């Protein structure tokens, strides 16, 4: 049974990637970003959820996606903090998260 993304509120920050095919640049560049930044992603308590053709085995598609492709950053509070239609969000992702008030407390315990 697929869960609501909101079940992760206050537990995880989310990076949601909506794409159509595994050959799409947004998918390729995001998977490369993940493999190159595992420690930084884990340190920021960031869970990454892919929706291929608006489907995911574990989660129902959030309403804000509205049949769009792109990448969304969702904060602990469940609100969209940033969005890009392409992979450009990845270049600013860590700086954006690090500027969030709750992250400033977490940074005292950086692991990377």
For 93, half-sphere exposure in the C-beta direction (CA atoms, 13 angstrom radius) is: 27
Q: What does the pLDDT look like over 31-83, one tens digit per residue?
A: 999 999 999 999 999 999 999 999 999 999 999 998 999 999 999 999 999 99
pLDDT band at 30 (very low <50, low <70, confident <90, very high): very high
Per the structure block, which two tokens stand in for 110? 């950086």
Q: To which H or E segment does residue 98 belong?
A: helix 89-98
Domains of the chain: 12-109 (3.40.30.10)
Q: How many CB atoms lie within 10 A of CB 71?
A: 24
- The rounded distance, in Å, linking the Cα atoms of 96 and 87 is 15
Q: Identify the pLDDT of residue 50.
A: 97
**Do residues 41 and 31 touch, judged by C-beta distance below 8 A?**
no
């Amino acid at each position: 049974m697929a869960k609501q993304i909101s079940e992760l509120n206050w537990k995880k920050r989310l990076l949601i990637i909506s794409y159509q095919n595994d050959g799409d640049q947004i998918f390729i560049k995001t998977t490369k970003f993940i493999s190159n930044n595992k420690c930084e992603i884990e340190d920021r308590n960031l869970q990454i959820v892919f929706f291929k053709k608006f489907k995911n085995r574990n989660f129902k598609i959030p309403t804000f996606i509205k049949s769009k492709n792109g990448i969304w950053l969702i904060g602990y509070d469940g609100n969209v903090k940033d969005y890009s239609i392409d992979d450009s969000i990845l270049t600013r992702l860590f700086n954006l998260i690090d500027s969030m008030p709750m992250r400033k407390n977490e940074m005292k315990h950086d692991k990377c």
